[in-house]
Amino acid sequence: MRALSPARNLAFLAGGAAAASMAVAMARPEGAAPGAGRTALAERMATRQTVRPSATAPVDSTARAEECPADMVLVDGDWCPRVEQRCLRWMDPPGRYHRYRCAEYERPARCLAPRVHERFCIDRRERTEASTGLPLNVQSWTDAKRACEADGARVCMDSEWTFACEGEDMRPYPYGWQRAAALCNADHTDLLVDGQPWRLRDERTRAGSHPACVSPFGLVDMAGNVAEWVSVDGHPEGSSVVQKGNWWQPGKHACRDEQAGHNRFYKGTETGFRCCAASAPRD
């Protein structure tokens, strides 16, 4: 198959004619401040209960495993609703896409709001096809809701997914501070099916096949593979939904990035999910 040029694919990602039915423009405008477009989640979290950062000792892995269903991970800590993450070096040359991908962020990140205590369980991997081990795709938010609830779980909240991705250190990428897309199934440029420029190629890889693409809590594939549905905090269930992490948009691999523009019924080659659930009560 003929490889498409990066320029053509960037135009696709930015909402060109071929992408009209797939996505909205997601690149930051030239001259925008680093982190622009990442404040909406902070605003939506304004009504959540806030607590002071805790100094709770880490729980051993055995105890954590007992508090969550099989194949889920316990996330327990204090997350920051509003973060300043300053990019030190951009990957792309000056122009429209200059601030599309950050090569390296300043560390540490700065928390600009009171932290919120979070305690929940979340799938270690995306939900998969039993026969192939590939993440489920062509899944809508409503499909995710149905599947999660059948297992006694639910669709994750935006805040939960983000915290599970970045951890208490507020990492921009699940694996750290420098962009290393090769660790994940990410940064593809050959995106479109030949002769069908409205269709994405299926670039999924087996869930967990990139073990270094791991978050501080031990979750894999949060910066690649399928775009995962989450519910937006502060809105009635299903009324506002976005996707987090994916292989097909080079500008959308940071933990705080999200893909909007689709309702709960949309499904495509790129869409999948993982589930969240309440943790077992503490003794």
Beta strands in 124-165 (DSSP E): 154-155
Q: Do the beta carbons of residue 229 and residue 271 sit within 8 Å?
A: yes
Identify the DSSP state of 56.
Answer: P
Nearest to 225 by CA among 122, 90, 108, 129: 129
50 pLDDT above the threshold of 90: no
More confident residue, 21 or 261: 261
In the chain, % of residues over pLDDT 90: 61
282 pLDDT above the threshold of 60: yes
Give 192's pLDDT tier (boundaries 50, 70, 90). Answer: confident
**Rounded distance, CA 280 to CA 72, Å?**
12
- For tokens 């919120």, the residue is 116
Q: Which amino acid is at 105?
A: Y
Report the pLDDT averaged over residues 156-181: 97
Report the pLDDT value the prediction gives residue 190, as an integer from 0 to 100: 75
Give 280's pLDDT tier (boundaries 50, 70, 90). Answer: confident
pLDDT digits (tens, 9 = 90+) for 80-112: 999 999 999 999 999 988 888 999 999 999 999
63 pLDDT above the threshold of 90: no
Report the pLDDT value the prediction gives residue 197, as an integer from 0 to 100: 76
- b or e along 34-50 (b: 16 or more beta carbons within 10 Å of the residue's beta carbon)? bbebbeebbebbeebee
Helix (H, G, I), strand (E, B) or coil at 241: strand
17 pLDDT above the threshold of 50: no
229 pLDDT above the threshold of 80: yes
Report the pLDDT value the prediction gives residue 129, as an integer from 0 to 100: 95
Report the pLDDT averaged over residues 199-216: 90
What CATH number does residue 181 fall under? 3.90.1580
24 pLDDT above the threshold of 50: no
Q: What's the token pair of residue 116?
A: 């919120």
Nearest to 274 by CA among 153, 159, 101, 179: 153
Q: Do the beta carbons of residue 214 and residue 174 sit within 8 Å?
A: yes
Please give the backbone phi and psi of residue 104, each rounded to the nearest 5 degrees, phi first: -155, 135
Helix (H, G, I), strand (E, B) or coil at 165: helix
10 pLDDT above the threshold of 90: no
What's the mean per-residue pLDDT of the chain? Answer: 79
Q: Please give the residue range of the domain that contains residue 111.
A: 1-283
Q: CB-based contacts of 179: which residues, under 8 Å, 6+ apart?
A: 91, 101, 102, 103, 104, 173, 253
Number of domains the chain contains? 1
- The residues that bridge with 83 in the sheet, in sequence order, are 111
Report the pLDDT value the prediction gives residue 183, as an integer from 0 to 100: 95
